[in-house]
Amino acid sequence: MSSTSKKKSKVVGATQFEELWKNTMKKPFLEKIVLNIGMGAGGEELEKASTVLETISGMKAVKTISKKNVKEFNLRKGRPIGTKVTVRGDEAGKLLKRLLIVNNNKILRKSFDNFGNFGFGITEHITIPGVEYDNLIGIFGLDVVGRIVRHGMRVKYRRKQKAKVPRHHYVSKAEAQYFLKSNFGVEIVNKLELEYF
């Protein structure tokens, strides 16, 4: 495929999404951002990891519990193995902008699925703007996962009168990428090359 035909296909895709988003029920939005640190065990290190997530998000972190026994990793069902925090609404958008700065506003193309989910990793939490190094806590890496949805997805998860959501109502990979480009200035790349100053 020539470069001109690639440009045309991108323009067509963008126009298609803009037309689709004129319908309020079809316009996607960032539902949530989940920050996660997996430790594999509880104790003091897990408490430090929880403190890190609370510092970054300004919200209370919860512990993730092991769902099964894994002898090789010395895991027992019901024991805390990590910590996570979920941020929703306008705060999720503000947090995502801060987190994207770490990777120079770039996300790998393969980090998206066909259901509106995307994710990326941060090697050192102290590279996030507004977070300072604390020698009592140390340095932690974390996973960032976001979800882009349309209005009406609640019918799948509500307690009463649940209903299936048709496949076309999910946000596709291409649409999620365009959403992040147009709303957060994200650059979608095949390889992540970070610049260190």
Domain at 20-186, CATH from 3.40.50.1860, 3.30.1440.10, 3.40.50.720, 3.40.630.10: 3.30.1440.10
pLDDT at 194: 60
Residues 6+ apart with CB under 8 A from 170: 114, 115, 116, 149, 150
Note the pLDDT tens digit of each residue in 13-47. Answer: 678 888 999 998 899 999 999 999 988 777 888 99
Whole-Å CA distances, 133 to 52, 60, 126: 10, 20, 6
pLDDT at 106: 94
**Residue spans per domain, the chain:** 20-186
Note the pLDDT tens digit of each residue in 136-148. Answer: 889 999 999 999 9
pLDDT at 195: 56
> pLDDT tens per residue, the chain (197 residues)?
445 445 444 545 678 888 999 998 899 999 999 999 988 777 888 999 999 999 999 999 999 888 887 777 677 787 888 899 999 999 999 999 999 999 999 999 999 999 999 999 999 999 999 888 988 889 999 999 999 999 998 898 888 999 998 998 999 999 999 999 999 999 999 987 765 44
Q: In this structure, is the dihedral angle defined by the CA atoms of residues 127, 92, 86 and 147, taken in order, positive or negative? A: negative
